[in-house]
Amino acid sequence: MTEAKTILVTGGAGFIGSAVIRHLIADTDASVVNLDMLTYAANLETLASVSGSERYSFERVDIRDATEVARVFSQHQPDAVMHLAAESHVDRSIDGPDDFIQTNIVGTYVLLEAARAYREGLTGGARDAFRFHHISTDEVFGSLGDEGMFTEETRYDPRSPYSASKAASDHLVRAWGETYGLPVVLSNCSNNYGPYHFPEKLIPLMIIKGLAGEALPVYGTGENVRDWLYVEDHARALWLVCSRGQVGESYNIGGKNEVQNVEVVRRLCQHLDQMTPRVDGKPREDQISFVTDRPGHDFRYAIDASKAERELGWTPLETFESGLEKTVRWYLDNEDWWRPILDGKYAGQRLGVGG
């Protein structure tokens, strides 16, 4: 798909979608249509650096609204869809799975049907070049023990309402590829971190609580392992998957940064202590508090990204050390971005303890 000109990005007002849009506007000549219904997780200020571009437009639309989604396809005539819109927080899926089923499964179905109908109306090169790229997670593969890594061949084994809904949407996307010939590509990525991350997720929550002198709630023993990837490295990978990936294929994306949760929190504390020491001079590690575990807490994720490296020439540029330091610095410098979230949408309370 070398001729792609207009990219329909769903969920572009979220954490990863906004990084994709900033990358597309800054580093390619593509035009971007951002389709987002603006849930609690969205923030249009995240797009301030690109919203003035004539190559950017915004549509406030729910992906479950078939009429509106069809209108957006017809009006903007996209060459590709990068589908990121989703409910994304595992803890919220434990407290209330319904939105996850509706948006992640039904919404993806609505989008697939709209893409199929729209592509039927295209001719020649445009029809062949059209792509539907589904952005998914490594959580669809389940939980690893101490050894091994997820590859593209790993059997699906989702264990939370969130990961089950993402697995279902992956299956729908593949089915639309096989059955209707929709040119689909998929990617499954590990944990992202970086600027503009909603403070319900581990890293931004610990930075903000660390600054406030509050307890840092580490679930269970803190020995669970996540494989961290800087969000801008993911955004570059996603554009490579969309523009160069083979139709029908999926690509695992990961940062080769496996770290235990408690170690992530310790490193964040050390960065904060260096950049802005506590008034009493004590280390923020003292604030770490081990709390009741997440129900069904996956033990370990680790991604083998060699296919994306080999076939797409992608490699992460950020190390975990440099990325974490940049991230802490960003939260220190951008309180005007996250403070209103704490005051309105989410105040940092524990989520997902289950019934």
Binding to ligand NAD in span 258-317, by CB under 6 A? none
**Shortest Å distance, C-beta 301 to ligand NAD:** 10
Enter the tokens of residue 221.
Answer: 């023993």
Active site residue: 109, 162, 219, 251, which one?
162
Binders of ligand TDX: how many residues, by CB under 6 A? 17
Binding to ligand NAD in span 11-30, by CB under 6 A? 11, 13-17
Closest CA to 58 of 15, 19, 9: 9
Contact 82, 20 (CB under 8 A): yes
H helices present in the chain, as ranges = 15-27, 66-76, 90-95, 98-99, 108-120, 124-129, 161-180, 202-212, 231-244, 261-275, 306-312, 320-333, 335-344
**Shortest Å distance, C-beta 298 to ligand TDX:** 7
Candidate list 154, 165, 191, 257; residue touching ligand TDX; CB under 6 A:
191
Closest CA to 227 of 301, 173, 279, 288: 301
Site string for ligand NAD, 84-123 (x = CB under 6 A): xxxxx--------------x---x----------------
**Shortest Å distance, C-beta 2 to ligand TDX:** 30
Enter the tokens of residue 283.
Answer: 């280390």
Binding to ligand TDX in span 249-268, by CB under 6 A? 261
Binding to ligand TDX in span 267-306, by CB under 6 A? 294
- Single-letter amino acid, residue 203: I
Phi, psi at 181, each rounded to 5°: 70, 20
Nearest residue (beta carbon) to ligand TDX: 137
d(CA 14, CA 36): 8
d(CA 246, CA 301): 25
Query: Any catalytic annotation for residue 180?
Result: no
Active site residue: 62, 79, 139, 200, which one?
139
Candidate list 83, 89, 159, 267; residue touching ligand TDX; CB under 6 A:
89
Query: Any catalytic annotation for residue 27?
Result: no
DSSP string, 13-80: TSHHHHHHHHHHHHHS--EEEEE----TT--GGGGTTTTTSTTEEEE---TT-HHHHHHHHHHH--SE
Which residue, 31 or 136, has its beta carbon nearer to ligand TDX? 136
Candidate list 8, 110, 164, 205; residue touching ligand TDX; CB under 6 A:
205
Query: Any catalytic annotation for residue 139?
Result: yes
**Which stretches of the chain bind ligand TDX, using CB under 6 A?**
88-91, 137, 139, 191, 201-202, 205, 217-219, 224, 226, 261, 294
Just list the catalytic residues: 138-139, 162
